[in-house]
A = this chain, B = another copy of it.
Amino acid sequence: MADIEFIRKLVMPAETKIVFLVMDGIGGLPLEPGGLTELETARTPNLDVLAQKSVCGGTVPIGAGITPGSGPGHLALFGYDPCRYVIGRGVLEALGIDFDLQPSDVAGRGNFCSVDEQGRVTDRRAGRISTEKCIELTALLRDQVHLPDVELFVEPVKEHRFVLVLRGAGLAGDLSESDPQQLGVPPLPIRPLPEAGDLVASRRTAELVNDFVAQAQRVLADQHPANMVLLRGLDKRPAIPSMKDAFGLRAAAIAVYPMYRGLAKLVGMDALPSGTKLADEFDALEKAWPDYDFFYLHFKYTDSRGEDGNFKGKVEVIEEFDSYVPRAMALKPDVVVVTGDHSTPSLLKAHSWHPVPTILHSRYCRCDGTQKYGERACARGALGTFPAVDLMPLALANALRLIKFGA
C-alpha cells in the first residue's frame, strides 16, 4: 500500500516536525529460552515513558522471514519499497567510504585476490591483505590503468576490499560479476545481465570494466599475494524520488558512519555534521532543529554490539541511548518514531528477520496502553506486526501532512 506515487498525491505542506530515532539492529532475542532480550533487560525509563504515550508495534523491514541488509532496511524506514529500489553492492560500498557518487557513475565492489600462473583463483581475498597494502595497490591501479573516455576511481576500503567507480557519459549498470565464487577457476568476464535496461550502454560499460580487469592483472602481476582483482555488484545509484519530492519533507540525516549518511543522501537528505559521539548527534539535532521538517538520527552501536555477540554491551548502549531521549523530546517534535532498521540479536551475532520494536508518538497517535519499550510489549501494541515501509505514511499522517483520499 505505502506506494510513493499514491502518498505523494496526498502530501500537503505543514509546519510540523518529525524525528526518527533509529537504533541500528535494536531488536534482539533472549540468550536462554524464556529469558529477556537485550532491550527488555536494559533500564530505559525515558523510552518506557514515551511508549506509554504512544502507539507501538513491530516492523517487518522486508517480509516475513527475510533478514535485511542495512541498505534495504533503511530504505523501508524512509518509506521506500526496498524490493523496488535496489541498491547495488558497489554503490553501498562507495557510500560507506563517503565517496561522492554521481547519478551517472557506475560503482562496483572490488576484492584483491590471488591467482595462479594459469590465472585461476587460489584465494578470493588474497589472505585478507592489510589495509595499508590495499591503499598501496589502489594507488598503483589509479596510476597505471587508463580507460578511454571515462574517469576512473579506485578507492581503498578495508583489507582486501576496494571500490571501483567509472564516471562518464553513456555508462550503465546491470552487469554480472567477475567473482566466480569458487577456487580453481579463472575470474569470469563481466557481461550485461539479461534484465539490463539499456543494453547498449551496459555492453559498453562491461567492455570498459573487462579492459580495467585486464590492465589490473598486468599491473599486479608481480605482487604477492594480491595479484588480481574480482568485481561484484557493478551498478548505478537507483533512481529514487527525494523525500522532498515524495513526502514534501526537508529532511536531515544525523549519523556518524559514512554508509548511513550515504543512504540518507540517496533519498535527498542533507547529511549534517554529526561528530563522533551520541552527544554530538543530539547537539546536531538541536542546532539544525529550525531548518528541517524531518530528522533521521542514527545510532550504530546497538548493531555493532549485537554483531559482536555482546549481549551486555548491547544492553549498555541501549541504556546510553535512552538517556539522550529527553533531549529530543525537549524540542517538542510533533511526531517521534523510535525504531531500528532491523534486529541484530547478540545470540545470532548477525542481522535477523525478527520484527523491530517500534514506538510512534504524536498528539494524535491513539495510545494503546503499552507500558514499556520492548519486543514483547511492542508486539502486543495496536500497530501489531506491520511493514516498516508503512511507518513513513503513519508519521506523515500523525504530523497532519496528508490530505484525505477521495471525497
Contact = CB atoms under 8 A, between A and B. Distances in A.
Interface stretch (A81-89, A173-181, A219-227): A81-89
A68 B407 CA distance: 8
Q: Give the most central of A350, A353, A369: most B CB within 10 Å.
A: A353
Given A6-B63, A69-B406, 12 more contacts: A6-B83, A33-B367, A65-B390, A65-B393, A65-B397, A66-B402, A67-B403, A69-B405, A70-B407, A71-B406, A375-B382, A384-B385
B404 A68 contact: yes
Contacts of A70: 406-407
Interface in A337-354: 345, 347-348, 350-354
A383 interface: yes
Contacts of A403: 67
Contact of A89 (B66, B68, B375, B407): B407
A393 B1 contact: no
Nearest to A58: B382
A360 to B, nearest CB: 10
Contacts of A83: 1, 6
Given A384-B384, A407-B92, A353 B68 contact: no
Contact of A364 (B345, B363, B402): B345
A121 interface: no
A63 to B, nearest CB: 3
A34 interface: yes
Shortest Cβ-Cβ A-B pairs, 3 listed = A1-B63, A65-B393, A64-B390
Nearest to A68: B405
Given A64-B393, A67-B403, A368 B376 contact: yes
Contact of A65 (B351, B353, B396, B406): B396
Nearest to A354: B366
12 contacts: A1-B64, A2-B64, A29-B364, A65-B395, A66-B397, A69-B406, A69-B407, A71-B406, A93-B407, A350-B404, A355-B382, A379-B382
A272 interface: no
A402 B65 contact: yes
Nearest to A87: B406
Contacts of A392: 65
Interface string A60-104: 001111111111110000000011001101001100000000000
A10 interface: yes
Given A63-B2, A92-B407, A34 B393 contact: no
Number of copies: 2
A394 interface: yes
Nearest to A379: B382
B33 A393 contact: no
A382 B107 CA distance: 41
Interface in A34-49: 34, 37
Contacts of A406: 68-73, 82, 86-87, 92
A382 B385 contact: yes
A390 B355 CA distance: 14
A86 B354 CA distance: 31
Contacts of A386: 64, 385
A236 interface: no
A379 B69 CA distance: 30
Contacts of A398: 65
A67 B402 contact: yes
A372 interface: no
A235 to B, nearest CB: 12
A351 B87 contact: no
A29 B348 CA distance: 39
Given A364-B345, A376-B368, A384-B384, A405 B65 contact: no
Interface string A1-44: 11000110010000000000000000001100110010000000
